[in-house]
Chains A and B, each alone.
Chain A
Amino acid sequence: MSRVLLELDHVSVSYGSVPAVRDLSLEVAPGEVVGLVGSNGAGKSTTLAAIMGVHRLAAGDIKFEGISIAKEQPDAIARRGVALVPEGRHIYPDFTVEDNLRLGLLGRSTREGADRDLEWVRRLFPAIADSSKRMAGLLSGGQQQQLAIARALVSDPRVLLLDEPSLGLAPSVVDTLFDALAEIRDKGVAILLVEQRAQLTVAFADRTHVLRNGDLVLTLGPEDVVDTDRMTQAYFG
């Protein structure tokens, strides 16, 4: 097995004839947090969806644990150990919280350890444990985000793809969220974190790539948080 967990190799994705991501290469190693920032429309969501097999690649390859997954279906990729928390959460508002979590179990390669993982996410997000019989649509925005992450986590992923998890959340809630992300990382789950909050992301991630109009233009390390010039570039993509 290679040292790299997830590898994007000169990936391009287009919508019809309009390119959204061009020639993007990046790597995520086990246990690592990699950030991906950039302004609206930069191609961040498209990148995550392509990894998940929702969009086909126009060029390039995506490898997970050394095996190409570029031609696989989303459900197969999920069972390999990739989990996506999509932009806008996409929980099932008319289903109970419990059912939403159970859906996450489908992405497991084995039932073994499911109970342990369920228990772990309930500890991680107590609010969810308390409202398991409620309709998910009745939860607050922050709780819905927690549910979406919990749902991804119970699939026992090796890498977690997060698409703007802090979107629309109050600052205090964002702090709690990043605390949880730190705990997830410490459990050994690698994270590819898409965010618009560049400051927070650069500080949190081992490495942060800046995307602009589908091109990777800059890579920052945590030490760059104090470098105003480079941070400005990160903000404006």
Chain B
Amino acid sequence: MRALRRWWPLVGPSLLVTAVALGGQFLPLSTQLQVRSVLVTTVIVVALYVFVGNSGVISFGQVSFVAVGAFAAGLAAAPADVKPTTFPKLIPFLAELEIGNIESLVLAAAVGGLFAFIVGIPLMRLSGLSAGIATFAVLIITNNVLRNWEAIGPGAKTLSLIPQTTFFIQATTGLLIVMAVAYVYQTSRYGRRLRATREDAAAAQSSGIDVHRERLWAFTLSGVLGGFAGGLLVHQLGSITTQQVFLDLAFITLAMLVVGGIGSLWGAVVGALMIAGLNAFLAEAQRGITIGSFDLELPGGTRLLTLGVVMLVVVLFKPTGLTGSRELTWPFSRSRFPQPASPSEPLGSSPGGGAGRSEVEGVDPSATEQ
């Protein structure tokens, strides 16, 4: 029971995710496909959260790692007999390669992590908007290279015929694994040190935390998870273009994270499930669906408009996100003051203060408002 309560911030969201995935199994096939895409999107958002949420540094660049993961997995797993004809400029090694599903996911994670590590070494010296723009630059470069250097990328063409393996089982376990890694990291020594730098990096630095190194760890881990997500994505879609893992995806996943609550795993999961779920629902509704005795058919374009309105309204009026950037707390506690969900340092939490607040100081980004 104790353990369950301690791990609840991970177990709770995992149960939710499992319920969503299982629930999807009983729905029509088109809806199952949507549920799968929601799960994969959630993987991307959790990967993004591992860096952005724990470091407090905004990054538009994490989708670069999704992109390289997706194309590493996709190019390596696509059938060797068609690659040389579709992609004549592909280097022989890649053209002849044809690996299985699990290897391809591992490869995606490795490539994503390696790329993030290399990029992170210089970039993690930056903070604030400079970091945001620099990561944005990484995304532009990644896309530009994948799109135009046909020796290692698909060019402007669609990469297709990739074995579709991201079904219910892989999408769900993939997400659960990524969430577990994210949670173990954030509650580890490394994660806690990094979270201490969010509020005041200079103060953390002077108290002996190597901000650059801690950020680099998170960035690399986020790259591993992002690459893995890219692998899942490409094996879910079966075909992909460079534009599918570019600006739109970067912005929308960042928005999902902020809508849910940038500073918590629970926020990442809720934001992704909500927005991606809404997105999927609206996509269906545009094609026409029947709910009970109602026939609903929304005009084309409604989907993106609605998403935009929802994102804007949440961000404007609930800036800490739907979850307030807090982890999920154990719901069956008798005490009015539930224990801190994650074992964060109790720094600055004053006894008797914080009634009704379930988290210690420092998790809620709004607490730093002047």
Contacts and interface: CB of A to CB of B under 8 A. Distances in A.
Interface of A: 16-18
A234 B362 CA distance: 35
A18 B352 CA distance: 11
7 contacts: A16-B361, A16-B367, A17-B350, A17-B353, A17-B354, A18-B350, A18-B353
Contacts of A17: 350, 353-354
Nearest to A17: B353
Interface range for B: under 10
B362 to A, nearest CB: 11
Interface string B307-333: 000000000000000000000000000
A13 to B, nearest CB: 13
A17 B353 CA distance: 7
Contacts of B367: 16
Interface in B356-370: 361, 367
Interface of B is mostly: loop
Interface in B245-283: none
A84 to B, nearest CB: 17
Contacts of B350: 17-18
Contacts of A16: 361, 367
A16 B353 CA distance: 10
Interface of A is mostly: loop
Nearest to B367: A16
Nearest to A16: B367
Contacts of A18: 350, 353
Give the 7 A-B CB pairs with smallest separation, nearest first. A17-B353, A16-B367, A17-B354, A17-B350, A18-B350, A18-B353, A16-B361
Contacts of B354: 17
A16 B350 CA distance: 11
A16 B354 CA distance: 10
Contacts of B353: 17-18
A18 B367 CA distance: 12
A181 B191 CA distance: 53
B324 to A, nearest CB: 15
Interface string B100-140: 00000000000000000000000000000000000000000
Nearest to B368: A16
A17 B354 CA distance: 7
A236 B325 CA distance: 42
Contacts of B361: 16
A104 B56 CA distance: 38
B42 to A, nearest CB: 33
Interface string B336-364: 00000000000000100110000001000
A57 to B, nearest CB: 16
Nearest to B354: A17
A16 B361 CA distance: 10
A161 B367 CA distance: 29
A16 B362 CA distance: 12
B232 to A, nearest CB: 41
Nearest to B353: A17
Nearest to B366: A16
B234 to A, nearest CB: 46
B134 to A, nearest CB: 26
A65 to B, nearest CB: 29
A17 B367 CA distance: 10
A61 B204 CA distance: 38
Nearest to A15: B370
A90 to B, nearest CB: 15
B205 to A, nearest CB: 23
A227 to B, nearest CB: 37
A40 to B, nearest CB: 17
B64 to A, nearest CB: 37
A53 to B, nearest CB: 14
A18 B361 CA distance: 12
A236 to B, nearest CB: 25
